[in-house]
Amino acid sequence: MSQQLASPSSVFQGHVDHFTNGTIRGWALNLRDIDHPVRVHVLIDQQEVMQVLCDTPREDVREALNLPNNTLGFEFCLPKNVFDGHPHSIGLRFPDRSALPLPNIDHSDILSETVTFPGSIRPEIRSFVDGVKDDVLQGWIIHRPSPYDDWIGGLIVSATADGVSLGSARANQYRSDVAEALGCDPNCGFEILLPRRLYDQHPHQFSVVSEPDKKLLEGSPFTTSLVHDTLESRLVALESTIDQLYRDLTSVRREVSSLIPRRAPNLQRYNSWAHRYYTLLADKVATQRRAHPLPKNTPLVTVLCPTYRPDNHDFRAAIASVVAQTYQNWELILIDDGSSCKQTTATIKELTTSDSRIRAVTLKKNQGISEATNAGIRAAKGAYIAFFDHDDVLVPVALEVMIREALKSQAKLLYCDEDKIDAAGHFLEPNFKPAFDYRYLLGCNYICHLTVIAAETVKKVGFLNTKYDGAQDHDYMLRCTEVLDASEIVHVPAILYHWRKTPNSTAARISNKTYAVKAGVHCVQAHLTRMQRRAKVHSINNLTLYDIEWSNRRRPSISVIIPFRDQVEMTRHCVDSLLTHANYRNLHICLVDNFSVEDETHLFLKEISSDPRVSVLRIEEPFNFSRLNNLAAQQCKSDFLFFLNNDVFISQDDFLTQMVAEALAIPNVGAVSPRLLYPNETIQHAGVAVGPDVIGVHVHRAQPHDAYGYVGRLCLSHEVTAVTAAAMLVRRSLFEELGGFDEESLKIAYNDVDLCLKIRQAGFKIIYCASAQAEHHESFSRGTDDKPENEPRFFQETQTMLERWKEFPLFKNDPTYPHYFRKDHQTFFDLHDPEKLW
């Protein structure tokens, strides 16, 4: 243990272990009075400013010096006035005026021992490099000039890969996780896009430093190899080899480079995507305006903006976004909810003076968001009412796009897509919404912003309920569904609203408004009670996501249809899981034996047939999934048919109860399907999105089983356009009415998507049931369609689907899957190029 002690002539001895950013830590003792702690005098610029008692435990010193006690340590921070940006001399003195040495100084004059402290010039830094995710190098860094200041972001970092610069970035992106953990400024994250050349499967060393002091960030350097796509990686490696060996063959290199798939834009790079989108959106609306001008007598739109002591800068930006609207026939009502704030009052007065379309309503005392909004409703003169928060931002064409759709569709309630904007001006976390989905709305207020409602509808629905402040908008949307037909509620597929994300906003973290969670539970419960739908509502993980526990007492009969061929252990496991765990009395299992040949299978069938709940239908024909299920369905007289693959295993006791409850909970549900997991507990099925580019694709595939999914979709039951027949519950009467599966043209593939499209075409809903879960060993029974021998058949089935459904609107543009997202890449993540959205 290396020690730096005081003068041998002094009875006092000590050492300073640490002197950084104004914090001094060390130990001291009196050799003649070891039992009593020493008092050290602190001098700044030759003046004593404080005394420090050395009475904290230092077991390391006690052991090193063989002392009888360990209470001889000290740690303190220099006074705040030292951190003024100027150098100061610092000295530590014992009671006998001898000096306690400070590190890294000349000790020639021990009695005048001082050190120059540079004040606020050297900030304290905390940081971490998270690693590489979705093509970007991510991390965070915060600093504070002194221990008395807050931790803030905004520093610049630079990164290298194998010593080659990757560029620099300012750490000002929103990181609520860091803010939650450290209580610091959330605008402290950074992202640096990685070049394509690094995706060559070889290890690369990444290093990130802070600027300008070049200090390595925590977690840096680190070494990893990157693999983006198998074909891309091979081509990148080939391109690198060509570049090295044949630098003059540029034409060859260009050809190889052109073959490398270009990465789709995605949510990780949403900010740059959004900037392009908003430019194109403005151009599109301008073109539409020239081709189809709005009528002269356009309806007046009342924009309601309740406010209570807003941030003045954000408030002015919000109002400016209304004034900048391309649609001119609006009025803006600013409701001052008893702010008693001179700045707010002055700002509102200035705004109302500057534009005659802006009016003010002032409440004498603070009454909360609901009553403030109600005051605005009473004062509204418009044919439509738009609800607007005092720190958010409207896209310039927002009202024009919404009113165009209202005039076109005669909708009574319209909502659009939205995103968030952080303090650094970055666009992030878009909420791309489906067409109106009542079941999804029960689970969360996905409608949110921007909402425009016909004044006549507002009059029918009434005022906002103060009982549900914090979830008053969710309550109001549910009440609107009680007086409107679903066709009168229209989603406008355009991003027209920016929800400002600040440390104190619900957009940043729901913990800021925990009361909103309780209010949400109560308002959904009250709505279901009014609609006479028996259920209990629970918050999911204390978030504004709600699980609906349906209290349905009906137990309609179910026939479970399981096609199989041998694979006796797999089939036995499937059947046993049903009989053991599916606690459902009115249940019948129909095993469809498609030409099984193994003795073990026959023994199993003989054994299982003794159970009155199980029957066996043997069909000695070539495998035709559609026909096997159709023939079995003809033998069944149950209320519901549950089509189930023999490689699906159920371990949830209320699995079928949950599925049936969803089928009966709301009107016109034609089919229900559960969440299916791979054996590694990642998502295999959570609904199917459809379209000409993919026919059908499983959304959220390979996500963790406990993930929330995009805007809660994995943990909330909601409408989807299609589901898998590996586990599909269908009303038998509807299945028969639609002619069952297509056993002529779709024998193997896409028969489930085809049936689902027929169900949707008939006006019925299809529900993904998030509360029912099973394990699926996908395609274990028949293999996959990508084998050479299956290609001709698969091609014909694909062409059948394209020809049959090419004009069906739900197939051309799946209303349950936002059109911004690609289906041929990672679902709910990879984005279409903005130019291809129109």
Contacts of 321 (CB under 8 A, 6+ apart): 393, 394, 395, 396
**H/E run at residue 801:** helix 791-805
**Does residue 67 or residue 746 have the better pLDDT?**
746
Give the span between the Cα atoms of 215 and 27, in whole angstroms: 29
Provide the b/e sequence for 703-736 (b: ≥16 CB within 10 Å): beeeebbbbbbbbbbbbbbbbbbbbbbbbbebbe
Distance of CA 69 to the CA centre of its chain: 54
What pLDDT digit, counting tens, does each position of 675-691 carry? 999 999 999 999 999 99
Q: Which of 160-164, 247-251, 677-681, 735-739 has the lowest mean pLDDT?
A: 247-251
Contact yes or no for 765/719 (Cβ under 8 A): yes
CA–CA distances in Å: residue 625 to residues 356, 455, 562, 631, 797: 68, 53, 10, 10, 13
Q: What are the tokens at 303?
A: 């924009």
Query: Is residue 562 pLDDT above 90, yes or no?
Result: yes
Best CA proximity match to 489, nearest among 406, 401, 404, 414: 414
Residues composing the chain: 838
- Tell me the three state secondary structure of residue 503: coil
Q: Percentage of residues in the chain with pLDDT exceeding 70?
A: 90
For 12-120, give the CATH class.
mainly beta
Range list for CATH 2.60.40 in the chain: 12-120, 124-228
Q: What are the tokens at 701?
A: 């595939």
pLDDT at res. 133: 86
Provide the Cα torsion 353, 355, 358, 360; round to 10°. 0
Q: What are phi and psi of 169, to 5 degrees?
A: -155, 150
Task: Tell me the HSE value of 406 on the side-chain side, using a 13 A CA sphere.
Answer: 26
Q: Which amino acid is at 181?
A: A
Contact yes or no for 433/818 (Cβ under 8 A): yes
pLDDT at res. 248: 58
Q: Which amino acid is at 588?
A: H
For the ranges 60-74, 582-596, 629-643, the maximum mean pLDDT occurs at 629-643
Query: Is residue 116 pLDDT above 80, yes or no?
Result: no
Give the span between the Cα atoms of 658 and 752, in whole angstroms: 21
What homologous superfamily does CATH list for 280-464+483-508?
Spore Coat Polysaccharide Biosynthesis Protein SpsA; Chain A (3.90.550.10)
**Does residue 589 or residue 199 have the better pLDDT?**
589
Contact yes or no for 566/601 (Cβ under 8 A): yes
Distance of CA 716 to the CA centre of its chain: 14
**H/E run at residue 53:** strand 47-53
Contact yes or no for 433/417 (Cβ under 8 A): yes
**Does residue 779 or residue 270 have the better pLDDT?**
270
pLDDT at res. 110: 33
Q: Percentage of residues in the chain with pLDDT exceeding 90?
A: 74
Structure-token match 């789709």, residue found: 264
Query: Is residue 512 pLDDT above 70, yes or no?
Result: no
- Does the pTM exceed 0.85? no
Q: pLDDT band for 106, please (50, 70, 90 cuts).
A: very low
Q: Which amino acid is at 684?
A: Q
Structure-token match 């036995």, residue found: 572
Q: What are the tokens at 427?
A: 């666009």
Q: Which burial class, exposed, middle or buried, applies to 504 when counting CB atoms under 10 A from its CB (0-12, 13-18, 19+)? A: exposed
What pLDDT digit, counting tens, does each position of 406-417 carry? 999 999 999 999
Query: Is residue 517 pLDDT above 60, yes or no?
Result: yes
Query: Is residue 246 pLDDT above 50, yes or no?
Result: no
pLDDT at res. 112: 38
Q: Which amino acid is at 113?
A: E
pLDDT at res. 503: 63
What pLDDT digit, counting tens, does each position of 212-229 carry? 888 999 999 999 988 765
Relative to beta strand 451-454, strand 384-387 is antiparallel
pLDDT at res. 582: 83
Question: Would residue 70 be called left, alpha or beta, if left means φ above 0 and alpha means ψ between -120 and 50 degrees?
Answer: alpha
**CATH 1.10.405 at 124-228, yes or no:** no
Q: What are phi and psi of 357, to 5 degrees?
A: -80, -10
Contact yes or no for 293/326 (Cβ under 8 A): no
> What is the average per-residue pLDDT within 261-288?
91
- Tell me the three state secondary structure of residue 25: strand
Give the span between the Cα atoms of 143 and 211, in whole angstroms: 12
What pLDDT digit, counting tens, does each position of 34-49 carry? 889 999 999 998 899 9
pLDDT at res. 3: 45
Relative to beta strand 413-421, strand 427-431 is antiparallel
Q: Which burial class, exposed, middle or buried, applies to 226 when counting CB atoms under 10 A from its CB (0-12, 13-18, 19+)? A: buried
Give the span between the Cα atoms of 647 and 782, in whole angstroms: 10
Give the span between the Cα atoms of 128 and 135, in whole angstroms: 18
What mean pLDDT value characterizes the chain?
Answer: 90
**Reduced 3-state DSSP string for 262-286:** CCCCEHHHHHHHHHHHHHHHHHHHH
pLDDT at res. 787: 61
DSSP string, 575-636: HHHHHHH---SSEEEEEEE-S---HHHHHHHHHHTTSTTEEEEE--SS--HHHHHHHHHHH-
For the ranges 123-137, 168-182, 258-272, 484-498, the maximum mean pLDDT occurs at 484-498
> What is the average per-residue pLDDT within 811-819?
97
pLDDT at res. 510: 45
pLDDT at res. 786: 61
Range list for CATH 3.90.550.10 in the chain: 280-464+483-508, 558-812
Please give the DSSP secondary-structure letter assigned to residue 151: P
Please give the DSSP secondary-structure letter assigned to residue 714: T
Relative to beta strand 23-30, strand 71-77 is antiparallel
The separation between the first and the last C-alpha atoms of the chain, rounded to the nearest angstrom, is 72
CA–CA distances in Å: residue 633 to residues 175, 614, 745: 53, 14, 19
Query: Is residue 573 pLDDT above 80, yes or no?
Result: yes
Q: pLDDT band for 437, please (50, 70, 90 cuts).
A: very high
Best CA proximity match to 834, nearest among 817, 816, 822: 822
Query: Is residue 245 pLDDT above 90, yes or no?
Result: no
Best CA proximity match to 373, nearest among 476, 241, 256, 255: 476
Q: How many degrees, rounded to 5, is the angle at CA 669 between CA 518 and CA 446?
A: 35
Q: What are the tokens at 639?
A: 């209320």
What pLDDT digit, counting tens, does each position of 459-477 carry? 999 999 999 999 999 999 9
Best CA proximity match to 773, nearest among 665, 669, 681: 681
User: Which architecture, in CATH terms, is 558-812?
Assistant: Alpha-Beta Complex (3.90)
Q: How many contiguous H segments (helices) and E segments (strands) does the chain have? A: 21, 39
Contact yes or no for 3/60 (Cβ under 8 A): no
Task: Tell me the HSE value of 134 on the side-chain side, using a 13 A CA sphere.
Answer: 12
What pLDDT digit, counting tens, does each position of 765-813 carry? 999 999 999 999 875 444 556 666 667 788 999 999 999 999 999 999 9
